[in-house]
Structure 1
Amino acid sequence: MIKHIVMWKIKDFAEGNSKEQNCNKIKNELEALKSKIPCIKSIEVGINFSEDKAAYDLVLYSEFEDENALNEYQNHEEHLKVAKYIGLVREDRIIADYKL
């Protein structure tokens, strides 16, 4: 089992939307990938409410059977569409992948 976790800091305003609007858009689009990419075992996206300066705005938690499934997800055209948009609206990103 592979756990894939990504956190983003989102720009205050980008692509005509506020940070809140972009967080909601990204959350909806990422969670919709579950029905489009069969190799996703589990996916959830959370929007941060903490006002701590170290906090990131958005977090993705997802699970995959193995590294091949993670690679399939990362290179799937539907994921790449969402990733492209995220690239336009993010300030920073951190990522962790680990095996259970």
Structure 2
Amino acid sequence: MIKHIVMWRFADHAAGADKATNLELAKQQLLSLDALVPGMLKLEAVVPQDPFEHSYDLLLYSEFTSVEALKAYAGHPDHLAVGRFITEVRTERVCVDYEV
């Protein structure tokens, strides 16, 4: 199984909206990707309720049966569209993928 974790920090204002609006939009867009491809086992998108100063603004946690399933997700047009929106409104991104 492959675990895929991504975290972002968002700009205070971007794409004509404030941070809270963009976070909610991004979260809902990410949640719409659940079960997007065969081999996707789990998808969670979380906005921390009371983040600490060092916390990221949005977290994506997902699990896949294989590297091939993760690659299918990464290249899917719906995923790419969400990625384009998040790129417009984020200031930082970190990602880790690992096999268990």
Q: For this structure pair, what is the TM-score category when the shorter chain's length is used for normalisation?
A: over 0.9
| TM-score, length basis structure 1 | 0.93
How far apart, CA to CA, are the structure 1 residues paired with 2:35 and 2:95? 23
- Among all aligned residue pairs of Structure 1 and Structure 2, give the percentage whose two residues are the same amino acid: 39
Runs of 4+ in structure 1 over 3 Å off: 35-39
Gap runs ≥5 in structure 1: none
> Displacement, 1:21?
0.7
Q: Is the 8 A contact 2:36 2:73 kept in 1?
A: no
Question: SS where residue 59 of structure 2 aligns?
Answer: strand
Question: SS where residue 37 of structure 2 aligns?
Answer: coil
| TM-score, length basis structure 2 | 0.93
How many residues end up aligned between the 2 structures?
A: 100
Q: CA RMSD in A?
A: 1.2
Q: Which residue does 2:22 correspond to in 1?
A: 22
Question: SS where residue 32 of structure 2 aligns?
Answer: helix
The alignment status of 1:31 with 2:28, answered yes or no, reads no
Question: SS where residue 63 of structure 1 aligns?
Answer: strand
Gap runs ≥5 in structure 2: none
Task: Quickly say closer, same or farther: Cα 1:54–1:85, change in 2 above 3 A.
Answer: same
Q: Which residue does 2:81 correspond to in 1?
A: 81
